[in-house]
Structure 1
Amino acid sequence: MTTTYTSYKLITQDMTASLKRVAAEPNVARDTQYYLENIGNVKSIDDFMADDRLYNYALKAHGLEDMGYAKAFIRKVLTEGNTSDTAFAKQLSDNRYSELVDSLNFAQYNTAATAFDRAQQGVVDKYMRQTLEQEAGDDNTGVRLALYFERSASGINSGMDILADEALSQVVRTALGLPDAMAAGDVDQQAAYLERVLDIKDFQDPEKTGKFLERFAAMWELDNPSESYDPLAVFGSSSRTGISADLLISINSLKLGGS
């Protein structure tokens, strides 16, 4: 079996070619064509939510595929936008919702929201990357985690940013050889510890991030030699909102308190 790091490098050494392979898959190509042909005709949140193919495509593009059933929740996110600190999306520790608003900002641009490139090709580009990561995870969850970390690394500015995202936390705990039980500890102490043992600003450097992921991949192979890992543990419907229910409450409380 190809190792986690080898598989990760095969994908990332020519990301353009990897994404083109995904785009050429019949189902992906068909859904993408439909999205591009129809999203520009959407003039309201009602229009968007009435078309399940557009709605589901956009949610998957933002890693929110498992939230498709929660239409009232997504409607509230889109209706309130993200320009105000009191907007619903801003009250959530999970930044995927603000990213969805950035792509389809009906609250700010009304009927013109879907005319922007970010609502059209921008969403398509996100969809391709999400699909690539999901398909990689079908073969090796560690590869999906590494790809996700690489994509997200530049947005990591603190230990709390890591703790607020279970997939990022899994990569860091694995790379550092930390027990999963650590996730049950005090949030502030966890964040402080990570900031002591990691140079957080290194994640702004692709080369240093690559070195970190090489270490992660090696440790992942030791812990998961048979790839018996459950991907839903970190990529399920609540994967981006915290390490545990208690941690989610703590992180959201901290964010709400700083708004």
Structure 2
Amino acid sequence: MTFQAIIPVGGYAGWKFLERTREDQSQLMNKSPVLAREVKYFEEKIGSVKNAQDLIRDHTLLKVSLGAFGLSEDIPNKAFIRKVLEEGSAAEGAFANRLSDKRYFELTKAFGFDQQVPNTQKSSFAEQIVSAYQKQSFETAVGEQDQNMRLGLTVQRKLTEIASSDKSEKAKWFLVMGSPPLREVFETAFNLPKSFGTLDLDKQLEVFSEKAAKSFASPNLSQFADKEARDELIQKFLINSQIKQANQSFNAQSTALQLLQASSSRGLLGY
């Protein structure tokens, strides 16, 4: 039986429930037969993987590996993933370094197939990937019930990591902009239009910083290393998401009503 996350209500109330029950629900999911079987297989077999081709030819190993980085949808794209993994991350012109989605960079850096000895040969590697896979699997299960809740979990996990890093503030914002889930959270929390992503990257950075300064304590992304700031961001995101959904529903109902009224009027006039 597949694990199903429990989220009784949506919005911020649902988020607070998820926070309270997250640990218990995660442990329950990790004990589910399918996930436990995949984890055991990965732990037993990953040490035999020496290159990208070894990984790609084994469906379960590839599933766990991509799933650990939120890239499960790329399982059929074997040629693409092989190119990402084989070129690695060390060379400036490597394929993953040219992609805007930085999850591919994180994937290839973690495996290190461009090194003389890949990271798959390290004793701690399996534990590292399995832990990430379990977290991502829980986020996926939550997303099947409520996608906004999944994005909230991504903020807690990924934004904490970025905000706490020793990178420059500009580099941190660019990492957020290169993460589709984090970008969606910030754009929604800041009420930015869909066209925002078409702006020049430096202009986007400027807007994000200005919005952060107005809505929070500082224009710096580092402030989100603090749990209170992350919680406030998630709250703004969830509230604005609900408002947007309500507006879309109202507009759809209004359009339907206008069409019905127009149809009724034509009938009365004998059209």
* TM above 0.5: yes
Counterpart CA distance in 1 for 2:31 and 2:87 is 36
1:100-249 paired onto structure 2 within 5 Å? 100-110=107-117, 113-154=119-160, 155=162, 157-158=169-170, 159-198=173-212, 199=219, 200-224=221-245
Task: Name the structure, 1 or 2, with higher relative contact order (CA <8 Å, separation 6+).
Answer: 1
Shift of 1:225: 5.2
Residues 35-60 of structure 1, C-alpha deviations (whole Å, 9 max, x = no match): 11211222333322221111122111
Question: Alpha-carbon deviation of 1:24?
Answer: 1.2
Q: Is the Cα–Cα contact under 8 Å of residues 70 and 103 in structure 2 kept in the other structure? A: yes
Shift of the alpha carbon at 1:99? 1.6
**Hey, what's the Cα distance between the residues in 2 that align with 1:97 and 1:117?**
23
Which protein has the larger Cα radius of gyration, Structure 1 or Structure 2? 2
Aligned to 1:106, the other structure's residue is in SS state: coil
State how far apart, in whole Å, the 2-side matches of 1:49 and 1:185 are: 36
Alignment identity in percent? 28
Q: Aligned equivalents of 2:174 and 2:46: distance in 1?
A: 36
Give the Cα separation in 2 of the matches to 1:24 and 1:161: 33
Query: What RMSD in Å do the two structures reach over aligned CA positions?
Result: 2.5
Per the normalisation by structure 2, the TM-score is: 0.74
Unpaired segments of 5 or more residues in structure 1? 229-259
2:39 corresponds to 1:25: no
1:67 maps to 2:74: yes
Runs of 5+ unmatched residues, structure 2: 1-7, 164-168, 213-218, 250-271
Task: Name which of 59, 65, 74 aligns with 1:58.
Answer: 65
* TM-score, normalisation: structure 1: 0.77
Contact kept, 8 Å, 2:84 with 2:104, in 1: the verdict is yes
Check 1:52–1:204 CA distance in 2 against 1; reply closer, same or farther (3 A cut): same
Shift in alpha-carbon separation, 1:150–1:54, aligned structure 2, 3 A: same
